[in-house]
Structure 1
Amino acid sequence: MKKKTILIKNAKIVNEGSVTEGDILIEGEYIKEISDSISAKSSDVIVVDIEGNYVFPGVIDDQVHFREPGLTHKGNIASESRAAIAGGITSFIEMPNTNPQTTTVEKLEEKFEVASKTSHANYSFMFGGTNDNLEEILKVNPKTVAGLKLFLGSSTGNMLVDDPKVLEKIFSSTDMVISVHCEDEATIRKNLQEHIEVYGDDIPMSKHPIIRSEEACYLSSSKAIELAKKTGARLHVFHLSTGKETSLFSNKIPLKDKKITAEVCIHHLWFSDEDYDKKGTHIKWNPAVKTAKDRDQLWEALLDDRIDVIATDHAPHTLEEKNNVYTKAPSGGPLVQHALVAMIEMFHKDKISLPKIAQKMAHNPAILFQVEKRGYVKEGYFADLVIVDINNPWTVNKDNILYKCGWSPFEGTTFRSRITHTFLNGTLVYNNFKVLDVKAGKRLTFNR
């Protein structure tokens, strides 16, 4: 079959610290050429004139929960990856807390098999560590799997790794990136019990960041970092939510040389505890959305490069589940469709530059996980590209939400920018609010 050739004309290319004007020639799955001006060499070339709109590298989301297997009433790999490409996320790394959990190589390969048939985006999965699966961890091939995920807080029930000896052994035994959810379980249990004694099950949502407190986060993060320094492990701390934790990270060395890295999620950059009265359990996440001061400090650390990556922690639940009282409402919410436009909204508010968005959402996840030939607009790289019209407002509502759960914490929000096209491995997969009936997703590979 003849390779398809696509020529994107009149682009503003957001890549590697700058915005440059030019054309992009795609041949087959790859970017063949980037230049000031490229002419179509034959009538077979498909020309897409984007008239000065912006081209971003496809976003790599290093933390999603797509709920398959076992929790597919909330979402599945097919439904959530469709929403992801509509949001400019062309590659995702999915978490192991499904049912059954991804804590054996056999279960991991079963997920890869499902994704190979149903994913609309490029995919990889994290392997889950527990108190008793070190033998399985050592079987994982780091060249074909994104990394290892450990829950150091009970966000996900029995995946909690709370045995210090086991933790040290895991940290000492693997070269893979160890990604951690850090909240101290004993602190949270004590806080929760105190609040139940006062309020019963119907605890006010405003108490969530007091129950899952700054102390719980800092205690766990600092211990994990101490252990990483002791063992030499490669540690990535997921979803920072407090200003205090940002002091634990450095911006003194390039990302490729860092042994200890950090991520922040969209919701911790967007919301604060002032939003609980209006949004209620719809913004209940673990770790909790905290104060406006915490949010400001997270932004500061993101912009000065102590925080390396922006992700979503996309974790859909049904409205029926979310609309329960505090103790029964699960934590998490859907975000992949709106993450990039939410960050570009922050560009409109002069909080962040477009190249910084590309760095934190595409370049840096690619560096951190050593993703092969993705995360940049570069000749020889896979043509994972997102075209954005940054001045074309639209409002999030039930009619344009693609998540299987059918709701968004951004409902009613008007974004000034919209994604007009998403190209995945050289194939147009999304065009102006329509996901095209073509699956071009591939399993991510890693330069390790």
Structure 2
Amino acid sequence: MGENEAMVLTQKNDPVLMTQTMRWFGPADPVSLRDIRQAGASEVVTALHDIPNGMVWDRPAIAARRAEITRAGLGWSVVESLPVHESIKLGAPDCDRYLAAYRESLRHLAAEGVRVVTYNFMPLLDWTRTDLRYEMPDGALALRFEPVALAAYDIYILRRPDAARDYDEATCAAAERRVHAMDAAARLELEQTIIAGLPGSEESFTSAELLRAVEQYGDVGADRLREHHAAFLEAVCPVAEEVGIRLVVHPDDPPFPIFGLPRVVSTEADVAAIFARVPSVANGLCFCAGSFGARQDNDLPGMVERLQDRIGFVHLRSVQHEPDGSFHEAAHLEGDARMAEIVAALYNIQQRSGRSIPMRPDHGHQMMYDLTRTTNPGYSLIGRMRGLAELRGLERGIAHAAAAA
């Protein structure tokens, strides 16, 4: 066997591994493209965050963003996210114009080489936390969600009518004690943490604006939101199929109703129903282990196996559940996610299908040098770099064990 033949054989026998990416929020991101490349990622996932929701992403703007990424030695095949306008989620009379804009944006993205487009169908708010600087035992800072803090904001600061009905008696009592112990600065910090806008959320609200927006959803329950989601997919999937893009829905975060707003992408049954209703090959899933993992009744490794054909993008992070129903972001290989089983399931899918699934380490602790820097919550560099390195090592260890078996 000649040298070239041996090289080809080795390459054919090489395992298919996940495409390692990191999220980048564009030129204003404190984390640079050079940082991301040095962290070991080969691609970024990003979006045109400066374009208002519902507007067309024109091709020159997409091309300019791609050129910037390419100059840094990185690839860009996954968009996160192309937002769905609230009129589409509400099924409002003007939703057709926003559906048309979405289809046009998909055509432009495909023309510039994007193959996966992430979106979510959460009403009004993107991912929600009540503490962006929860101190871990080692001094690193994590994101945390606490039901009592949410209830304190909802009942006493937002003052949503009848909000107390959505919480049990013990939570309401604890929320009352909490809010009465808070000074004005603490109340403002809680308000800003919940609604002032987080990375990946193109819109933000004041409490008064949020309350008015919540009222618009007064007659949109879970069943109607599911219908609107299906209508969205039926309107855009034909174009996505035509141009070779897979749409992947990000699960709800947290995966249960908040502020009386329905959530319809929270469980395996939810996503299975979406795929049954709209069976298009363009209708896919962004499997976020952290979002699904915030519900203890979601079997994460089993979901990966059963939903494998629909998974087009993966977010890997782990949450740690607390006895009172709170949860916080754990280190990527710790917490309750059973990460080794998840990555093993993904590895097996890739070997069977021959396709590399784009992955990014989702969120990360603010730690070390980043504790002294201004960072986007959950998206500081060092914590995500640690997560990427750990996940890379885990996957390669699984591959090595498989080869040795």
TM-score range, shorter chain: 0.3 to 0.5
Using structure 2 for the length normalisation, give the TM-score: 0.46
Using structure 1 for the length normalisation, give the TM-score: 0.42
Q: Which has the higher strand share?
A: 1
Q: Greater relative contact order (Cα 8 A, min sep 6): structure 1 or 2?
A: 1
